[in-house]
Amino acid sequence: MRLPISLLLLAALPFAHAAKSDTTLFGKKAGETEKVVVTQVVEADKAPAEKMTPAAGKPAMEKEAETPKDGLKPKMEMVEEAKPATKPKMTEEAEAPKKPMAETDAKKGEPEMKKDEADKPKEDAEPAITPFRAAKTLAAKETRTFKFSNLNKPLSFETTRELQRLFGVLTTQYVTDGTTFAKAPGPVTAISYTILQDLGEHRYVAKASWPAVGEALPATTDAWAILLLDSEVKVGATGRMTGTHAGTVALEFTAKFSPIDGKTLTIRREAFVECKPIEESNANLTKFAEQVAQGGEFSVTTTERVGCKTCNSLGYTREPQKGKLEDKRIPCTVCDGTGKLTTATETKFAP
C-alpha cells in the first residue's frame, strides 16, 4: 500500500523537530559548545601517558589543536615569570647609579682635597683667649649708708671730706659710660706698656706695669699682660692707658717675640680693657650727686680700719686680781693688741 507523499512528510515532521530542538537559528545553543570543549580537555588531561596514542596515529586536526595548547602553556608561564623581573629602563638608570656616583665623587674629591691641602702653606693657628680666673673684688663684711641729706650735720660721718674720699674711691671702681657712670668689671688702674705682639682685633701681648689697687690688684712691674685697646697700635710702641682689670685669661698662641719666638704655647696672664675713667673734679662730683638724687644706685667698697669691739678699741682686756687694786691687762688676740681691725666696708649712697 502506497501512502501519499504528503502523509509521509507529515509523519516525518515530529522527528525532524526533535532532532533540531538543540539548535537555534545561529547554530548550537550558547554554553553547550563550552561544555563539550571542557569535557574533551579534561579527558585528554586525565588520560594516562601509556594509553595515549602516538602523535603519528592521531588525525591532523587533533595535532593542530594540541600543538598550540602544549606550546601556549610554557610560553605563558615564561611571560608571567619574566614580568616581575622587568623594570622600566628609566627606573634602573635612576636607582642604580645613586650610591656608586656618591662614592665615586667622594673618591675623586679625596685626592683633590689632599692636593689642595698640600699646596696651601701652613698658617699659624689663630690665637684663642679664654677666661681663667675672674677679677678679684673685695667682699664687704659691713654695710653703711651715706645720706646726702645728713651732709655736714653734727655727730654724723657724712662730711664733705668723707664724701671727697669716697668719690676718689668711686673713680677706681666706676668708668664713664656716655653720660652716666657704670660699674667696672674690676679695679681701674693706670698701665704703662710696651707692645710685643699683635693678636688681632685690637688685642695685644704687652710688657706692662701698674700700681696696686687696694687688696684686689697688687702692683706689678714689667710683666706680660693682655691688653684690649680702643685704637690700633704698632708692635714695639710704648704708651700709657687707664684700664679695668678683667681678671686672668688663658692665651693660646704662637709667639713672635724673643725669647720664645716661633713657639706655640698657652700662658696665663692678667688682662686689661682700656676705658675712660672718671676724673676727680667738682663738676663730676656735682654730676654724681645729681644722679644719686634722681634714684641712681651707687656703692663703693673700701678697706676701713674700725675699732675692735672685743677690747673696745683698747687693744687689751682687763682681768681683776685678788688683793690688788690694778687689773691684769691681757692683750687682745682679735686685733693683735692694736685696737683696730681692717675690714671691707660697703658704703651705699642715698639722697
DSSP H stretches of helix in 86-229: 89-95, 98-119, 160-170
| Segment of 90-99, 145-154, 303-312 carrying the highest mean pLDDT | 145-154
Residue 218: Cβ-neighbour burial (10 angstroms; 0-12, 13-18, 19+): exposed
SS (H, E, C) 122-146: CCCCCCEEEEEECCCCCCCCEEEEE
301/54 Cα distance (integer angstroms): 125
Residue 13: which pLDDT band, with cuts at 50, 70 and 90?
low
143/81 Cα distance (integer angstroms): 96
pLDDT of residue 145: 95
Residue 213 backbone phi and psi in degrees, to 5 = -125, 90
Tell me the three state secondary structure of residue 164.
helix
Q: Is the predicted pLDDT of residue 48 greater than 70, yes or no?
A: no
Residue 21: which pLDDT band, with cuts at 50, 70 and 90?
very low
Residue 9: which pLDDT band, with cuts at 50, 70 and 90?
low
Domain ranges within the chain, ordered by starting residue? 132-274, 298-350
Contact present, 313 and 340 (Cβ < 8 Å): yes
Q: Work out the mean pLDDT of the chain and round it to a whole number.
A: 76
The one-letter amino acid at 52: M
Q: Cell numbers at residue 327, please?
A: 687689773
45/55 Cα distance (integer angstroms): 15
Contact present, 132 and 268 (Cβ < 8 Å): yes
Percent of the chain whose predicted confidence (pLDDT) is above 70: 65
The mean pLDDT of 28-34, rounded to a whole number, is: 44
pLDDT of residue 125: 73
Residue 58: Cβ-neighbour burial (10 angstroms; 0-12, 13-18, 19+): middle
The verdict on pTM exceeding 0.85 is: no
Handedness of CA 296, 301, 304, 307 (dihedral sign): positive
Those residues whose C-beta lies under 8 Å from the C-beta of residue 215, and which sit 6 or more positions away, are 136, 138, 303
Q: Is the predicted pLDDT of residue 297 greater than 60, yes or no?
A: yes
Residue 63 backbone phi and psi in degrees, to 5 = -60, -45
Least confident range from 33-47, 94-108, 313-327: namely: 33-47
Q: Is the predicted pLDDT of residue 205 greater than 90, yes or no?
A: yes
pLDDT of residue 177: 85
pLDDT digits (tens, 9 = 90+) for 67-82: 444 444 444 444 444 4
135/270 Cα distance (integer angstroms): 9
pLDDT of residue 337: 87
Say which residue, 116 or 291, is predicted with more confidence. Answer: 291
Tell me the three state secondary structure of residue 247.
strand
The mean pLDDT of 324-341, rounded to a whole number, is: 89
pLDDT digits (tens, 9 = 90+) for 81-139: 444 444 444 444 444 444 444 444 445 555 455 444 444 444 557 899 999 999 988 78
pLDDT of residue 32: 46
pLDDT digits (tens, 9 = 90+) for 209-234: 999 987 789 999 999 999 999 999 99
pLDDT of residue 12: 52
Q: Is the predicted pLDDT of residue 277 greater than 60, yes or no?
A: yes
183/297 Cα distance (integer angstroms): 10
Residue 167: Cβ-neighbour burial (10 angstroms; 0-12, 13-18, 19+): buried
Tell me the three state secondary structure of residue 41.
helix
pLDDT of residue 8: 54
Percent of the chain whose predicted confidence (pLDDT) is above 90: 45
Beta strands 328-331 and 174-177 are unpaired
Nearest to 248 by CA among 267, 264, 230: 267
Say which residue, 182 or 6, is predicted with more confidence. Answer: 182
46/43 Cα distance (integer angstroms): 5
pLDDT of residue 4: 57
pLDDT digits (tens, 9 = 90+) for 233-275: 999 999 999 999 999 999 999 999 989 899 999 999 999 999 9
